[in-house]
Structure 1
């Protein structure tokens, strides 16, 4: 029996490999995609089942891992954390982004404004920081 390395087996056939997929990378990508679907499509049957079973009182992104969860859900949570580290906001008009509670300040890190929010500014969205009918920042509000 001839043995060959896993690296050679996962190379494409065109360059001398056997064309197998790297199962670890494939599984990581699949679990990340499941997490993305749960986050963006909460009305899907899979999302409703998993959210109903595991995080009925918390959001998917804020769910903390418990001891009595399935291996599959634990894998989705690990990839969810990878999504959380690498996600950013496309601000657009800013109407859906909370100034104080969503990490929207940086493309490279999860940054939020610091300091306590005043009662008047607690529910501000990013669109509220623009001049009316304009795409320029209102420095007074900022």
Structure 2
């Protein structure tokens, strides 16, 4: 197990922090890990006595803590956009954000045709973050009613259904009375 974690799982880690690996490559790496764990020799296949899903469980849940390569790649890629969101004034943030999303937010920008593989990896990590990030309402000026997750503090939710044409640009601040800072019921 030490050999699996220290060598086979760690070798692609640096690449996975920068680039989104193709699913086929992730499956190949995963296959090498499983075959190393289960087989006696490369040409002698043995019975899999423990399901792979059980091996990938954390140790405190009864597993061995082996990482799923594709999920691990996504987690490593999500760290960079998170750092860019938390500290946009860092050197990395200034360079990347000024090059790729000069006029829009990192969470909303699109990949230009000439984007590097590194930037495409950052955008793949951004999609992981977008699934779990939500807004704290505050004054609501930056929150789009129909697009942003703002309805719940326990799970990320936005209104369901299509937005009426006349209300597509509606912000949460439009739903709050500016005088009393309470919900405008009209």
Bigger fraction of residues in helix: 2
How far the C-alpha of 1:139 sits from its partner, in A, is 1.0
Q: Contact 1:99 / 1:113 at 8 angstroms: preserved in 2?
A: no
How far the C-alpha of 1:57 sits from its partner, in A, is 3.5
Q: What does 1:1-142 correspond to in 2, within 5 Å?
A: 3-5=36-38, 7=52, 17=64, 21-91=67-137, 93-98=138-143, 103-104=148-149, 106=151, 107-109=156-158, 114-116=164-166, 126=173, 129-130=176-177, 132-133=179-180, 136-140=182-186
Residue ranges of structure 1 left out of the alignment (5+ in a row):
none
Cα deviation, 1:38-62, whole Å, max 9, x if unaligned, reads 1232111111111123222333122
Q: In structure 2, what is the Cα distance between the partners aligned to 1:52 and 1:113?
A: 32
Q: Contact 2:149 / 2:157 at 8 angstroms: preserved in 1?
A: no
Cα deviation, 1:28-79, whole Å, max 9, x if unaligned, reads 1121121122123211111111112322233312221223222221111012
Would you say how many aligned residue pairs link Structure 1 and Structure 2? 132
Q: CA RMSD in A?
A: 3.9
Residue ranges of structure 2 left out of the alignment (5+ in a row):
1-34, 39-51
Change (3 A) 1:110 1:50: farther
SS in 1 for 2:142: coil
Cα deviation, 1:77-104, whole Å, max 9, x if unaligned, reads 012123223322121x325434568625
Cα deviation, 1:4-44, whole Å, max 9, x if unaligned, reads 24x48867789785x65444333211211211221232111
